[in-house]
A = this chain, B = another copy of it.
Amino acid sequence: MPENCDFKRSPCPIANVLDLIGDRWSLVILRDLFLGKRRYGDFTRSPEKIPTNLLAERLKRLQREGLIDKVAYQQQPPRYEYHLTAKGRDTRPILEAMARWGNRYIPGTFVPPDDFWQQPDPTGGEG
């Protein structure tokens, strides 16, 4: 057992994933990153209309937990882009499983096209 075994609720992997990204917004942000969105404004313009304080907080948490990287794309004024790390990219099976279930059981939800998840990472952001 490593030192970082201070589980919030239990050693169950599902409960722990929920404590990390099991809220109303984190997976929506990850979805947007898979779609190729990178900047703060991109996320705010998504149809779900995330409140800006929550966006800022969630981006901080995702970064702190190593699912995304924050990389500067200009200096004056300092501006940043957000990129998925390998850890973040590996949430794809979770998003895919959710999308499939949603498509099957929630009528009217859009079916992601085949290239939905194929997001290249041109700047190669890796933690």
Q: Which of A37-45, A52-60, A71-79, A93-101 contacts B (4 or more CB under 8 A)?
A: A93-101
Q: Is A121 an interface residue (CB 8 A)?
A: no
Q: Is the CB of A108 within 8 A of B22?
A: no
Q: Is the CB of B18 within 8 A of A27?
A: yes
Q: Could you tell me the distance in whole angstroms from the C-beta of A120 to the nearest C-beta in chain B?
A: 21
Interface of chain A residues 1 through 48 with chain B (CB within 8 A): 1-2, 4-5, 7, 9-20, 22-24, 27-28, 31, 46-48
Specify which chain B residues have a CB less than 8 angstroms from the CB of A46 in the assembled complex. Answer: 10
Q: Besides A10-B46, A13-B99, 7 other CB < 8 A contacts?
A: A10-B47, A11-B110, A17-B102, A18-B27, A22-B22, A94-B98, A97-B97
Specify which chain B residues have a CB less than 8 angstroms from the CB of A91 in the assembled complex. Answer: 101
Q: List 4 tightest A-B contacts by C-beta distance, closest first.
A: A13-B102, A13-B109, A10-B47, A93-B97
Q: Is A49 an interface residue (CB 8 A)?
A: yes
Cβ-closest chain B residue relative to A98: B17
Among A14, A24, A101, residue most surrounded by chain B Cβ atoms (within 10 Å): A14
Q: Is the CB of A9 within 8 A of B47?
A: yes
User: Which one of B14, B19, B20, B110 lies within 8 Å of A12 (CB-CB)?
Assistant: B110
Q: Could you tell me the distance in whole angstroms from the C-beta of A86 to the nearest C-beta in chain B?
A: 10
